[in-house]
Structure 1
Amino acid sequence: MFGITINSFKLKEAINYVLANYSKLYVNVPFEKECNFKETVLVDNNLKRLILTKVNWWDISYERRKTEVKLRLGSIECNKNQPLDIFVDVPRLNDALISGYIEPNSIINTIYLNVFLKSFLNFTDDMTSYVEKTTDEIIDVHFESEWKKVGISSYQHIGTITFDKKSKAIINISFDTNQKDNIQKGVIKENNKESISETVKNSMQINFSKSLDNKLSLKSYETEVNLDITYDNKTYKIIFENKVYVLKETAVKKVNNDGLIDLTKPVFQSIPSKTISNINSILLTEKEKKFIFETK
């Protein structure tokens, strides 16, 4: 497959094959996916935000070009959003409604596999890749790039792509971008104190499963951003995480525009405060359960 030897793998050739045969390998008709959406924010390993909601995702195709992606909220199971308590002496900045988030538009740009792969191809020339694991059904390919400097910052890509041996399709991707010196500095106008934000790592995982017509369909998607914020002589470790789990997929040619989510705003700003259901369909950790029921 793709000129495999014992220690190497022609990753660029394999990805180009997937892109050339995309509509044959992946479900490519108008669809509506009913999903569980989960968003968390941790500061120094303490939960500050937990959003649990159903999301209906419609598009004319899973091959993102000039698509008409539409997201609308379903039942909302939890909407707890606390201040990050970093800028505690600046009320304007210590407001939960304006704290950091992963923009939905950035998720849209990576949850579509063809978009991710076209971007990924830009990095393959300076990557090493090799077969990490192989069975009768799959091949796990590890990849790792050299550190590359852009301006004053540097980044490196590392991860694993799993290929289905029979179809040559991608069924799983785990992708990390490690970063160095990706720093933004600012001065708080209320007190002239310096604030320093440094992005440390971005991560993404995407998984596919077979649909009824034997094509692959998105099963789950996770993205995470790790950063450090230094303020008032203290450094805080922040983790922003969004997860999407597809529960059901239906072929739907057209939907209306009622109740659509603004993809330029955080999801928690689109959630009505008085529509929380008592049903929890998303598996929670003990820390998350405690966070939901504790008062603050």
Structure 2
Amino acid sequence: MRPRGTVAPELAALGDATRGAIARLLLEADDHALTVGRLTEALALRQPTVSHHLRVLHEAGLVAREPRGREVWYSLPETVAARLEEWSPPAGDESISGALLGRIIDDLGTRFTGTFSRETVQRVVLDSYDLLRARDGGGRALPSATAQFAAERLSAQQSTQLDGERPPGAPLEVLFVCVQNAGRSQLAAAIMRHLGGERVRVRTAGSAPIDAIRPAVVTALDEIGVPLGGEFPKPLTDDVVRAADVVVTMGCGDACPVFPGRRYLDWAVADPAGQPLDRVREIRDDIDARVRGLLDELAA
């Protein structure tokens, strides 16, 4: 069973703002049913526009159509109403509306036009949303985090479509993995991005990610002029592992899947969680030396 607030793929037709509003009105109505006229009045739209969206919902099996005398009533089947109630977040919960998810899907569909179908983009976006929603603490920037996480995963999948044939000049792909993706892997990735520039494409993940990068890690990086950018803890997924040429693990044991053709390294680095800033600086410097050594190896 999906956690409350996660998105069922069969409800994706509600990604349009108007169709989402229609569904909400039907959900709140007596018997989950309204006429076209009442929907038109409530939405302040032209009737042909409302009828168009109702037709889309009807063809998707999300609403039922029933003529009653001179009027046509549209209603939510019980199963759909139950799914919508499950999808609707509790009061005060920070979830993404169907309309916003639809926009994220549309935007990434445009970005990856010619590479992935809309169905593939939709699947990755909804799965990314569900994974981020499951993190401890939810997500204060869930819409942008969902879009960024899904884009990274689609980019990783795009890389694996090359079937091992790397175009001339294409960057090597390095994945750093730790447990919470809030300390060691973020330190390593930020330093490698800073030093490697366009020579490498760097991703991070955690076997059990938490909600935010540790403040001491941000401070330790800032002290040496290394930007963290818009990074945040992300769950480990197969697609980013498959895309990597080198996978560096730190303290996450065998949580990282093993695929042939990748180079795996395990760095025995102390965990900065709960450590004072002076100790985090030492860990940062240890990782800095390891990253520089790895970059030299990759350039050889």
TM-score by length of 2: 0.21
Greater RCO structure (CA 8 Å; 6+ sep): 1
Q: Which has the higher helix share?
A: 2
With normalisation by structure 1, the TM-score equals 0.21
